[in-house]
Structure 1
């Protein structure tokens, strides 16, 4: 199949990884001793794509000094039976099982799934609390919070698998009743949305100043569908939203997710995978804007694997991040690559 005709994944927002293609680009590891906490990856076995502990351990073993990771919900391994509201508890059980496998030492030195972000349907309102408590129990000390994805766009080509989601969830009063259950339990919220929705998250963050929120994937800047070929027009709009949400002290940002198709780059369609120099050049405006707005103490580099693996390898993505962080001080680099993530997710690392 010609590279230019490769279909996106069933999500529509990212390309499926192709190991043979990724292997065409090999790079030496930049700053190989630097400890990294990867605060955002998934594990799944579906639609013919397998990315479980063996696969992430192999990626980690490609050279960077990853000491720990955080699992983020991906609708994986829900319980097949029992009350609908409690079925997502199965995903926490699954991630905790992967963490236990990692803790055996049989998959390398990194503590995979040292923190777990699950899912609870916040539209349960007050009924979200017992589900949250069940996930705390299932996580056996590793459960840190939830993600209830609220990504929505009127253009189905942008929304992808989220096309049927209701508009304006972050503003919904019942959703907010569920959201109110997080802070009393010491839990955080991962926010996944598209850039036109950042204003809704600002409203939520101001309404719940005691709830810790992380903005996933640089705020989801869109460059496909109706947003395609409008980068010069859209970037200032996205930047204004980032500068505004950074004023909310309870919000931090994940630096990544830019290897998805969503941003509008065609790296996955090229004959050769991109180099870390190419990625750094393409992503610099977004990464630098986020770091300048939030500061390194409220920003963390993420792999977002396997979605971002559709455009680059683990080796290359963290090389790109290290290139982007090159102007930072040693303390700032420590924050960006490990300290912010460790503190936000309250990881207990030995």
Structure 2
């Protein structure tokens, strides 16, 4: 099967020896709630822009968006500076979703410093799901709207009503539900809750769905096992607000890059050429301005 031109909207690069960057979630003692101890292997090697380019060369990958990978660094802007250097050197990544604590008193200054870098496009506050009702965090979302930055949301179905509320309060802010809403269960009851949550979020026209990360919650995944989640999101958000990402190299714990992009291609094979192009590349290019 020939693979469509692909913009990978969710990648992570990291240098475990970088003196200013900390990757605490990939440490030797970490037990991740969905990845278990296997996540520790990610920290045993670096994954640089050059590694991503070499890996993806056979798979028609045209562009990539990097989403915050460092956690615990003294200065989150150090990651953006490092990524911009990589982009200037290699062409990748084309967009940067940076780390920031939206509840911090220094949030505005941090965002302004991030925005000194040409490829900066938005923020993922990794702990934001627990603070969606916090007034300080809500002020942070207002800052993102004022500055024209994207909010990348690490949330599950339980949070979607609050995501929608934030989206409706800030109609010029573009919010992205990462990893297909992270459907962690596979029981009939859980899937019904997930579907309701995603439909709630989709009710705000400025909420997008990133179709990615399904291997994290389905370690034995197949094209058929992820198809219902992808098809439901496309049906619910519409073609125009969905796009694909791989969550690489985190999902390398459960798959090959080729298998992921081939599954996406197979799932969308029955769509029109225009719709496939939008899902695999065009929507991400439009949202992230790349």
Which of the five TM-score ranges fits, normalised by the shorter chain? 0.7 to 0.9
Query: Is contact 1:77–1:94 with CA below 8 Å preserved after alignment?
Result: no
> 3-state SS of the aligned residue for 2:227?
helix
Q: Which residue of 1 aligns with 2:5?
A: 35
Q: Which residue of 2 aligns with 1:81?
A: none
Q: Which residue of 2 aligns with 1:118?
A: 98
Is 1:132 aligned to residue 81 of structure 2?
no
Is 1:288 aligned to residue 231 of structure 2?
yes
Q: Which residue of 2 aligns with 1:190?
A: 152
TM-score w.r.t. length of structure 1: 0.72
Q: Which residue of 2 aligns with 1:75?
A: 70
Is 1:181 aligned to residue 149 of structure 2?
no
> 3-state SS of the aligned residue for 1:69?
strand
Query: Is contact 2:164–2:207 with CA below 8 Å preserved after alignment?
Result: no
Tell me whether 302-311 or 196-205 shows the greater mean CA deviation. Answer: 196-205
TM-score w.r.t. length of structure 2: 0.86
Q: Which residue of 1 aligns with 2:14?
A: 44
Alignment of 1:203-242 (within 5 A): 203-223=165-185, 231-242=187-198
Aligned residues: 264
Query: Is contact 2:50–2:90 with CA below 8 Å preserved after alignment?
Result: no
The whole-number CA distance in structure 2 between the counterparts of 1:174 and 1:151 is 11
The whole-number CA distance in structure 2 between the counterparts of 1:100 and 1:341 is 20
Gaps in structure 2 of 5+ consecutive residues: 17-42
Deviation at 1:76, TM superposition (A): 6.2
Relative to structure 1, the CA distance from residue 35 to residue 77 in structure 2 (aligned partners, 3 Å threshold; closer, same or farther) is: farther
Deviation at 1:181, TM superposition (A): 0.6
> 3-state SS of the aligned residue for 1:245?
helix
Deviation at 1:151, TM superposition (A): 6.5
CA RMSD of aligned residues (A): 1.7
> 3-state SS of the aligned residue for 1:177?
helix
Tell me whether 37-46 or 210-219 shows the greater mean CA deviation. Answer: 37-46
> 3-state SS of the aligned residue for 1:123?
coil
Q: Which residue of 2 aligns with 1:243?
A: 199
1:312 to 255, 261, 270: 255
Relative to structure 1, the CA distance from residue 235 to residue 192 in structure 2 (aligned partners, 3 Å threshold; closer, same or farther) is: same
Deviation at 1:306, TM superposition (A): 1.0
Q: Which residue of 1 aligns with 2:120?
A: 143
2:82 to 91, 94, 102: 94
The whole-number CA distance in structure 1 between the counterparts of 2:222 and 2:90 is 30
The whole-number CA distance in structure 1 between the counterparts of 2:149 and 2:230 is 26
Deviation at 1:195, TM superposition (A): 2.4
Deviation at 1:77, TM superposition (A): 9.2
Deviations 1:241-274 (A, max 9, x none): 11121110111110011011xx2x342xxxxxxx
The whole-number CA distance in structure 1 between the counterparts of 2:132 and 2:54 is 37
Deviation at 1:116, TM superposition (A): 0.6
Query: Is contact 2:49–2:93 with CA below 8 Å preserved after alignment?
Result: no
Deviation at 1:150, TM superposition (A): 3.3
Gaps in structure 1 of 5+ consecutive residues: 1-29, 79-83, 104-111, 153-166, 224-229, 268-277
